[in-house]
Amino acid sequence: MARGKLIVLTGPSGVGKGTLMRMLLRRHPELYLSISVTTRTPRPGEIHGRDYYFVSRAEFDQMVANHQLLEWAEFAGNCYGTPRQPVEDQIRQGKWVVLEIELQGARQIFQSFPDALGIFILPPSMMELEHRLRHRASESEEAIVRRLERAKTEVGAANEFDIRVINDDLELALDQIEAVLFAPKEPLPETVAV
């Protein structure tokens, strides 16, 4: 049986991680996306069990206490985490598991899974990132400002990852991610500007 693989995809809020992930999964349904647990309120169109497992803070705290999460972090006033059991089961079965998580969680994963492949998605610029966050129109001004401040720190940590992809064009960014995952015959540049 082929050995499972853990792939960690991260980047600042608003950089397009979720959109890239959905596109990647449409093209490669053999990948297993780990669904995160969160205490935040669902955004319009998000479905429990498909986008996230939406839980109360008390339920989340119980999962942390019971070591049911591989990683967890508090971000913009809400908690996010990766359920342990499904990820470990899929890797044991030889599947490639993809985590779309925040920087703090990615760092925790790299401590437990040092062989995980880290992919960091960068915005073309901070100005473009701000435009994307405001265009979502799903958060308060205070939340947007918090996300932008955190994004500056996160972008500074991009060099902790194996591969960095600038998301200026979704199709090109997706092509670069696919090249990293499915055609690693030749060494790839660490930063791919698209």
Model pLDDT for residues 83-108, shown as the tens digit of each residue: 999 999 999 999 999 999 889 899 99
Residue 191, pLDDT above cutoff 80 = no
pLDDT value, residue 14: 86
pLDDT value, residue 185: 53
- Report the C-alpha gap between 191 and 194 in whole angstroms: 10
CATH number at residue 62: 3.40.50.300
pLDDT value, residue 2: 66
Are the C-beta atoms of 155 and 161 separated by less than 8 Å?
no
> Taking the model in full, what pTM does it have?
0.83
Domain that holds residue 154: 5-193
Which residues are annotated as part of the binding site for ATP?
A: 11-18
More confident residue, 189 or 106: 106
Where do the H-state alpha helices sit in 41-140?
A: 57-65, 84-92, 103-112, 126-136
Strand arrangement, sheet containing 117-122: 32-33, 96-100, 5-10, 117-122, 163-166, 191-193
Q: What is the mean pLDDT of residues 39-62?
A: 94
Percent with pLDDT over 70 in the chain: 93
User: How many structural domains does the chain have?
Assistant: 1
Reported confidence tier of residue 146, pLDDT bands at 50, 70, 90: confident
Which residues are annotated as part of the binding site?
A: 11-18
Q: What is the mean pLDDT of residues 111-118?
A: 93
pLDDT value, residue 77: 85
Residue 193, pLDDT above cutoff 90 = no
Residue 190, pLDDT above cutoff 70 = no
Task: Give me the count of residues in the chain.
Answer: 194
